[in-house]
Structure 1
Amino acid sequence: MVFLTTKMMQRTALFVTFGGLVTSLITTFIPLWKTMNSDLNEMENWYSGLWHTCLYTEEVGIQCKAYDSVLGLPMDLQISRVLMSVSIGTGGLAVLAAFPGLDGVGMCADQPGVKRGLLIFAGVLSWVSGLTTLAPVSFVAYTTVVEFWDEGFPDVMPRWEYGEAMFSGWFAGLALIIGGTLFFVAVCMGDYDQQPAGVPNSSQVKHRTAQHYLKTEVL
């Protein structure tokens, strides 16, 4: 395909990685990881995130409050805070490392090996960022399901359910992993483009050698 070039693949990888980074950043700070609605008072909606808990009522609107103590948080939220911070850091470094490695960018223009190394490094960082996004979101989702079906809680007590941030977190993690994979694909495409024309690869040489050997045996 005409549009499937190394330069286009590099820019697609950067765009997907940047989109995953922005989505991961939004997921980290919005208080919509969990939501709860009480059957006793349907006018109140509770929302919980990594940094705040919020209460929404029709009379007052939404009111948010930061957690009083980090040590008082559940274990899943403490781990999620650390992993999401790592995800944002590695995702940002991936974007910064990938930009000078793009074809057409003046930085390191006379050093193709450095550009190739930067793209590989960006792909690894993007993978790390994606995994550290998927892990906390999946962990919080697991604990939410376990607590929701816990038979020790009375049926009348409200229970936490999935919030919108859970789905945006899964999307962000997958986007970062796809972006890192596209960086690796772009590197392989660049290596293929740099091969000199007319030079047969090793498999072709072996095939021709085998044919010549068979012809010699027949003679």
Structure 2
Amino acid sequence: MGRIAKEVSGQILCFIGFVGICVCCGIPMWRVTTYIGANIVTGQIVWDGLWMNCVMQSTGQMQCKIQDSIMRLTQDLQAARALIVIAIVISFIGMLLTFVGGQCSSCLKKESSMAKVLILGGILCIVAGVIGLIPVCWSSAYTISDFQSVLTIETQKRELGASIYIGWAASGSLLFGGIILCTSCPPSEDVYPNYPGMYPYQGPMYGPPGSYMPAKTYAPSAVYTGAYVPNKPYPPPTYSPVPGQYI
């Protein structure tokens, strides 16, 4: 898989996860309570959410009430409010960084800087996925334990709502998208960078077209006259009468 394909797939997964976290936070379907009396007319469905509660009658009428006080919520929903909002903010920042550092954008010029920004956005998406997964799992565990408790009245037993499943899917999308984006490694830098004190090579200088200027020459430190006079005189050799020998 090419680098651009990995980036696009990771960005799409992160965007889907961000939208899913927002939907999970907005819709009031964290818990669903179904009550059907002896007559179907008395049947109603109660939806519990982070911000409001809704009651749907069997006749099709729906009434919703905003949660005025956070202290009326259970502990898992109180923590879910804060954690889901934090996950939305972190995933939004991470998603923006993935678009800034992507190959398709022109915000950054260096490939190494683009890759580092992209990896940072992927890490933020992973963190947002983990933060969003905590309240969803906590609320589901609380709902299941309350449903299986013998102290809970049959007409008040709650079941898992659609927000729980949407939260699981959104957190998984953020996790997988962030992992894919983090695998985009930055390109290797030069082995021999330009350190201070190292002088670049300067080739021969050329003047106008058609003329050649040789490199600069330096004058010698001493002038050579052409005659060499030794410091110590040496006597000439004397030859003996025998040919090939000298004294």
Matched residue count: 187
Pairing 1:36–2:20 present: no
Q: Secondary structure at the match of 2:72?
A: coil
Distance 2:49 2:100 in 1: 36
CA root-mean-square deviation:
1.7
1:163-215: CA deviations, max 9, x gaps?
A: 11111110000000000001012x13x54xx699xxxxxxxxxxxxxxxxxxx
**What's the % identity of the aligned pairs?**
24
TM-score (norm 1): 0.80
The residue that corresponds to 1:174 in the other structure is 172
Counterparts of residues 57-72 of structure 1 (less than 5 Å): 57-59=57-59, 61-72=61-72
Q: Does the aligned pair in 2 maintain the 1:25–1:88 contact within 8 Å? A: yes
TM-score (norm 2): 0.72
The residue that corresponds to 2:126 in the other structure is 127
Q: Does the aligned pair in 2 maintain the 1:39–1:158 contact within 8 Å? A: no
Q: Secondary structure at the match of 1:71?
A: helix
Q: Does the aligned pair in 1 maintain the 2:36–2:44 contact within 8 Å? A: no
- Give unpaired runs (5+ residues) of structure 2: 191-247
Q: Does the aligned pair in 1 maintain the 2:34–2:155 contact within 8 Å? A: no
Q: Does the aligned pair in 1 maintain the 2:101–2:108 contact within 8 Å? A: yes
Q: Secondary structure at the match of 2:144?
A: helix
Q: Secondary structure at the match of 2:155?
A: coil
Counterparts of residues 68-87 of structure 1 (less than 5 Å): 68-87=68-87
Q: Does the aligned pair in 2 maintain the 1:34–1:162 contact within 8 Å? A: yes
Q: Secondary structure at the match of 1:177?
A: helix
Distance 1:38 1:47 in 2: 12
Q: Does the aligned pair in 2 maintain the 1:33–1:48 contact within 8 Å? A: yes
Greater fraction helix? 1
Which amino acid in the other structure matches residue 45 of structure 2?
Answer: N
Counterparts of residues 81-96 of structure 1 (less than 5 Å): 81-96=81-96
Counterparts of residues 175-214 of structure 1 (less than 5 Å): 175-185=173-183, 187-188=184-185, 191=187
- Give unpaired runs (5+ residues) of structure 1: 197-219
The residue that corresponds to 1:10 in the other structure is 7
Alpha-carbon shift at residue 117 of structure 1 (Å): 1.5
Structure of higher CA gyration radius: 2
Q: Does the aligned pair in 1 maintain the 2:83–2:135 contact within 8 Å? A: yes
Q: Secondary structure at the match of 2:156?
A: coil
